[in-house]
A and B are shown apart, each in its own frame.
Chain A
Amino acid sequence: MTRTDTPDPGLDPDLMAYVDGTLAPERMAEIEARLAHDAQAREAVAQWRHFGNLLHDYAASADDRPENLQIAALERQLARKLQKRRWRVVAFGPVVQRIAASVLLFAAGWGTHALYGSGTGNGGTVYPQFVSHTLAEHTAYKLAAFERASFEAYEMDAALDWMSQQMQQKIDSPKLDRLGYQVETARLAVVDNQPVAVFYYRNPDNERITVSMTPRALEQPDYSLRVAERDGERMAYWSSEGLHYAVIAATDAGSITTLAAAVQE
């Protein structure tokens, strides 16, 4: 509705939206037609715009100022605080509380003594092959020599169907979006004539996670959940329902377990 009878242009939301460029395009012509016949409104609009331009340009002169090192240091400090806050809220949010409950069940299935057991040491530790391979995938970021197919994020549904078929085992997408991670790519690699599905995730702060799923042959061991560290990377690995899982990220032991539970859930 156009308010041609409003005496005070300052009370007309259409005129304000017109000046501030927030008016819907289909209303622009209507307001312009009105302004052509309403000198009072026309003058008001011109002056609001002019004063707005003066203030905008004056404010923009702050950009010409040199960087303030104290502000930059405080900005970094605040970024760290907010990042921690984000993680804490995620860690205690309803989604992760549910996942945390499944972490307990997840770990309890094998007995908690198994959780942080062997594999936490450094050199000399031998990991199952599916873990070593995933670690290589994570650190070298795709070993093209073993690749059979690669998929972008938008192809994920088709990728899961195809990979399930190739692995003769139904695989589901790791549900890490609930923890703020988005899938970047997925690929099917072949190691020792065995297919391995690998998923690469990243969060807005550029933190990467690599998840792998490998079919477990009948003669292979059934691994209980283990959390290990190597070269600053945390690894969680376990076997469940005919698959070996490995999750690798540069994070702490608690977070890697949460991530593992989110993958398993």
Chain B
Amino acid sequence: MSLKTELHTHVGSLRRYALVLTRDPVAADDLVQETLLKAIAKSDTFQPGSNLRPWLFRILHNTHVSELRRAKTRTDASPDLPDPVARDCQHTQLELKQVLGALDQLPEAQRMPIILIALREMSYAEAARCLDVPLGTFMSRLGRGREALRRIVQGVGAGKLTILKRKEGDA
């Protein structure tokens, strides 16, 4: 695969990852642009022959984290998440909203592994390299994060989903 083709594939992955991180297509593209600008500036640090994807994801990850730190008000000031892109029925959309909301309650160290693995584009080892953590740490954070996510969704979601199901049944 040529470098151009490989890079194009990775940029598609970055856009997907950025969308889940930002929940806003415009902000996601801004984040990808910022990532590419930084990658261009840091291109001398890339080691040809090494894997390009973790290098790009690591830049995006660090850019996102820096941005969050700069604008920490995002989650504090806006309790309502932007509506995710509608792709499915109302029930799925509500579930997605709950999962995204629950993700926001997780520490960043657990949130990132869950999102990276959900993309289904890389191995555990590669995802660990994206976050610059050892594989064991990554696995531990992923497992604990998934369980925490489950507990949050179960706690938060049971009521809303019951109501929704009842409404659907009434209709």
Question: Which residues from chain A contact B115 at a C-beta distance below 8 Å?
Answer: 55, 59
Q: Which of B96, B143, B145 has most chain A Cβ within 10 Å? A: B143
Stretch of A80-88, A125-133, A161-169, A183-191 at the chain-chain interface: A80-88
Q: Does B150 contact A (CB under 8 A)?
A: yes
Known: A44-B150, A59-B119. A22 touches B85 (CB 8 A): no
Inter-chain contact A10/B33, CB cutoff 8 Å: no
**Hey, which chain A residues are within 8 Å of B1, CB to CB?**
204
A11 to B142, CA, bound (A): 9
Nearest neighbor of B115 in chain A, beta-carbon distance: A55
- A75–B145 CA distance with the chains assembled, in angstroms: 33
- B29-65 residues with Cβ-Cβ distance < 8 A to A are 29, 32-33, 36-37, 39-40, 43-44, 46-49, 52
Q: Is the CB of B43 within 8 A of A81?
A: yes
- Decide if B47 touches A89 in the complex (CB within 8 Å): yes
In the bound complex, residues from chain B placing their C-beta under 8 Å from that of A83 are 3
Determine, out of B6-14, B71-79, B161-169, the stretch whose residues face the partner at the interface: B6-14
Q: How many residues of A contact B (CB 8 A)?
A: 47
Interface residues on B, range: 35 or more
User: In terms of DSSP, what is the predominant structure of the interface of chain B?
Assistant: helix
Residue B146, interface by CB 8 Å: yes
Stretch at the interface among A61-69, A107-115, A232-240: A61-69
Structural contact, A61 and B150, CB atoms closer than 8 A: no
The one of B12, B40, B142, B148 in contact with A78, judged by C-beta atoms closer than 8 angstroms, is B40
Contact mask for chain A residues 27-61; partner B; CB cutoff 8 A; 1 contact, 0 none: 00000000000000000100110111011111111
- Cα distance, A63 to B115, chains bound together (Å): 16
CB-CB < 8 A to B28: which residues of A?
62
Give chain B nearest CB distance to A182 CB in angstroms. Answer: 13
- A66 nearest CB across to chain B (Å): 10
Binding site for A on B (CB under 8 A): 1-4, 7-8, 11-12, 15-20, 25, 28-29, 32-33, 36-37, 39-40, 43-44, 46-49, 52, 84-85, 87-88, 92, 95-96, 99-100, 103, 114-115, 117-120, 123-124, 139-140, 142-150, 153
- Ranked 8 nearest A-B pairs via Cβ: A10-B147, A10-B143, A55-B118, A74-B36, A59-B16, A81-B43, A86-B48, A61-B85
